[in-house]
Amino acid sequence: AMLSALHHGFCTLPDPRRGKVEIPLPDALMAGLAMFSLKDPSLLAFDERRCSDGNLGRIFGIGKVPSDTQMREILDPLDPQRLRQTLIELVDIYSPSGKEEDIQLYLEALLTRAGFDVERQEVEDDRYNLRVTMGSGEPRLYLVGHVDTVPAWDLEEFGPQEEEGLIRGLGSADMKGGCAAMVEAWLAIAAALAPEERPSAGLLLVVGEEENGDGTARLLEDYRFPWSIIAEPTRLAPCLADYGYI
């Protein structure tokens, strides 16, 4: 039911690509979801599955599974080094709940330099959510992430540390890694598509999640939308919902 609901949602998204399109947008999106959900270590491994695994059609509803080359073309605008640097810089900014201004200033400047109009939604003095949109009309799909972390046990060691290709540090998983990935998607789209070609989508970077959720509560006073992708760490397993408290 979850995968069917996602596929249905993807089918409602307008495809801004022009000319001959070899892979329909819902198939491309579901293929990306399948690759991460099945933990394929590479695009080549996914390509081998494409040739032998009928579950991609039966379970994920993919009508035309993209090849390794086609997936690389779709993902080509993404810049792994830029993504890595964004994550390092985010983790290097100390942003416990209630003290998120420095990281929001960093993200606001990064997105503004890419040509986006960044809207501040005030939560309280010196605390605000950031909202960015692209495409035409009010987006029905938003990428959502929180920029705050729990307090550091040791202020001398909260920052980024790289070991065997992995970046560790306060908030690297929860959820500055997710925020960096969503920002990279935004930067890649800005580089690859003219403004009139971009899909209708939104990006929300909120404060206060680790304590009382005041950033999200403030967000929902002004905006409601049917679809969101929240990049909390789930070991790359898609989840339709999670537990919380009221």
- Strand partners of residue 127: 124
Q: Where are the alpha helices (DSSP H) in 38-176?
A: 43-52, 55-58, 68-75, 80-92, 101-113
Query: Can you read off the two tokens belonging to residue 219?
Result: 């967000």
- Determine whether 184 is exposed, middle or buried from the number of CB atoms within 10 Å of its CB (0-12, 13-18, 19+): buried
Which residues are designated catalytic? Answer: 148, 209
What is the maximum alpha-carbon separation in the chain?
Answer: 57
Query: Using an 8 Å Cβ cutoff, are 61 and 4 in contact?
Result: yes
Q: How far apart are CA 230 and CA 238, in angstroms?
A: 10
Residue that the structure tokens 């890419």 belong to:
114
